[in-house]
Each structure stands twice: as C-alpha cells, then as structure tokens.
Amino acid sequence: MKKESTFTFPQELKAYEKALEHTILPFIKIKEQLDKKPKIYESKLGGNPYLPKGAEHPIDSYGAPMLLLAQINFSEAPSIKDMPETGILQFFITAKEEIDYGQDPDDITSQKNFRVIYYSNVITEESELTTDFSYINEHNLDFDMFPIQREIGLSFEISEEPLSCEDYRFEELCDTNESINALCENDDDFDLYSELYGRGHKMGGYCYCAQTDPRVYSDELREYDVLLLQIDSDENEDEDIMFGDSGVANFFIKRADLKALNFKDVLYNWDCS
C-alpha cells in the first residue's frame, strides 16, 4: 500500500497545490553535524575515505589520488524507494587545480576526474582499513580550492517536496498547465517556491541548479532520472562548503542502475551563478 503523503503547501502557495501535488516525492535530507567527528566508516562530507586494505584509492587523469567529496553509510540513513539500505556510497572528485571540480563539460558522465564507488559490505574493524593517507600529500593538490574545507559529520531525515523550479520538467509543466504558468508569472510566489523546494544537501527528490538542469539538453541525458546526491554551498559565514560562487553539485543516475547497485554510469554536473 502506498504511504500517504504528509506534505502540505504553505498558505501563500495553496493556489498551486492541485497542479503540483502529483509531483511530490520523498527524499533523504542530509544535515551537517559540525560538532561530530565521524569514524572512517561513517557518513561524512570531506575528510578521509573508507578504504579497506587492498582496495585502490581512486586516481584522476593526472595520476593523483582524488579527494572525498561525500560518503554515505546507508545503515545510518532512513530508506526511500530504490536507494540502498546498506553499504557505503562514496563520491570523489579531483583536487588538481587544472580540473574544474572533476567535471568534463564535453562528457558529464565520464568518471576520469570524478568517481562514484559503492561498497556493499562495510568493515568496521579499523585494523582492516587504511588509516594512513599521507600519500595524498605527495601530490601537488589544490586543497585550498577544494569545495569542502573540512570533514563534516552527517545526520539524515526523510522529507518531501514537489517538483523544483530548476528541474527541467518544471518549465514543461509551466507551458501546459495554466495554474503553474500563473506561478511562473508571479514573481513573489515564484521566488518563495524556489527558496522552499530543491535546495540543500539531499539524496532523491528534485535538483536545484544555479543555472540550468543539464538534462534539458537531450533525451539521452533525461534517462538519468534519479537525483543520487546533491551537495549545496553553505550560506553561513564559515563557508565550509563552496562550489565556485555559491554553486551546487548534482549527481544523477538511471533508476535501473540504482536498483542494480551499478554506479559506473553517473551524470555529474556543478554550476554556480
């Protein structure tokens, strides 16, 4: 039986509820725990990765070790449809100054300078894990420009949201639905809607893009129909997380690959205003 949604629109946006309620999706909201020191096998942003002894550290096209962007231990997170319930999922990007946060604008699915890795079985005995990462410092990496400046522990909760303004499907809906077209033309309502939905760190749900959802450009890219991970820039004064000028990073995957725990084909995009 399908679980009933508990999502409610704020009073200011009630006029658009009927047109948007069918788009509501659950997602895993990722919350920063700035006072937590995560263990090597726990969920985190930045820091040293979970790496069993004998496993290879992901290497970029320059032959340098990539740095950990995010690590999700699914045993710590609530579950939503088709997301793993166990195991560790990692996201790495290059820290070489010459590379644009690991994104290849000519092929945004090429994992030569970013990498997504999944470990189905998690080892918690630290004697069986790599703990000395001094070899990373042997390479000329641009740590100061890396988008995450310190290790950040995480916690999770389930939330819900309707289709975001930045998702490529929103404009299509705006063109065919009179109510959504009215939302698009009302600046105050549109700004409020844009602020409420799509932003933040998450898995699942709908994306926020500072410029354009890259999937708008082709049917082939639209096959990446699940938001696997979104990491947003911090708006606090410490700016521990910053992609360019307050940008955001998105990783998308095809649902069939996600269900099969196949993370070799992932679309990675980041942009900023």
User: pTM for the whole thing?
Assistant: 0.95
The number of beta carbons lying within 10 Å of the beta carbon of residue 106 is: 6
Work out how many domains the chain is built from and give that number: 1
Q: Quote the mean pLDDT of the chain.
A: 94
Distance of CA 158 to the CA centre of its chain: 15
Label residue 2 by pLDDT band (50, 70, 90): very low
Among 172, 246, 240, CA closest to 210: 246
Percent of the chain with pLDDT over 90: 87
What backbone phi and psi angles, to 5 degrees, belong to 87?
90, 175
Is position 199 within any domain? yes
Question: Does the residue 6 lie in any domain?
Answer: no
Per-residue model confidence as pLDDT tens digits over 119-171: 999 999 999 999 999 999 999 898 989 999 999 999 999 999 999 999 999 99
Q: What is the pLDDT of residues 204-229, one digit of tens each?
A: 999 999 999 999 999 999 999 999 99
Asked if residue 153 is part of any domain, the answer here is: yes
- Give the burial class of 5: count Cβ atoms within 10 A of its Cβ; 0-12 exposed, 13-18 middle, 19 or more buried: exposed
Band of residue 1 on the pLDDT scale cut at 50, 70, 90: very low
Instruction: Judge whether 249 and 268 are in contact, CB under 8 Å.
Output: yes
The pLDDT of residue 239: 67
The domain of 267 spans: 11-271
Query: Do 45 and 231 meet the contact criterion of CB atoms below 8 Å apart?
Result: yes
CATH number assigned to the domain comprising residue 19: 2.30.320.10
Task: Look at the block and give the residue holding tokens 């470990």.
Answer: 119
Beta-strand (E) ranges in the chain?
Answer: 25-33, 44-45, 67-73, 88-93, 114-119, 152-161, 202-204, 226-232, 248-253, 266-271
